[in-house]
């Protein structure tokens, strides 16, 4: 039986820029920082994928907290994958202008 080194394989078409992340669950442990203004945006809550290609389309963060959130729908911040600049050990750097 052939044994495969999963670490060295491409994981289902998901390509993370300059990174060796093996699982999406690891993205949830990283803080997202906007390099255009230096703001901390929070931690990854979810990711959106293309079912056809298996590639990440965007990362999703919880929206800003507010008093009205208690009474209404929770807002989310969706960051397109094209705006992800770098994924490090502890943080994800994004470049978005209109947050």
pLDDT in tens, 56-72: 899 999 876 655 556 55
Q: Is residue 9 part of a domain?
A: no
pLDDT in tens, 5-53: 334 333 344 445 555 545 778 888 899 999 999 999 999 999 999 999 8
Domain boundaries, position 87: 19-94
Tell me the sheet residues that pair with 40: 33
Q: Is residue 28 part of a domain?
A: yes
Torsion of CA 19, 22, 25, 30, to 10 degrees: -20
| Cα–Cα distance for residue pair 52/67, rounded to 1 Å | 39
β-pairing verdict for 91-94 and 40-43: unpaired
Q: Is residue 77 part of a domain?
A: yes
Quote the pLDDT of residue 74: 65
| CATH number of the domain enclosing 89 | 2.30.30.240
| Cα–Cα distance for residue pair 37/43, rounded to 1 Å | 17
What domain count does the chain have? 1
């Amino acid at each position: 039986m052939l044994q495969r080194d999963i670490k060295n394989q491409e994981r289902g078409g998901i390509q993370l820029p300059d990174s060796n992340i093996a699982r999406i669950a690891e993205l949830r442990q990283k803080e997202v920082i906007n390099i255009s203004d230096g703001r901390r945006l929070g931690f990854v809550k979810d990711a959106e994928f293309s079912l056809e290609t298996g590639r990440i389309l965007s990362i999703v963060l919880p929206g800003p907290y507010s008093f009205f959130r208690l009474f209404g729908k929770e807002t989310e911040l969706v960051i397109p994958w094209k705006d992800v600049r770098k994924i490090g050990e502890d943080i994800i750097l994004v470049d978005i202008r209109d947050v």
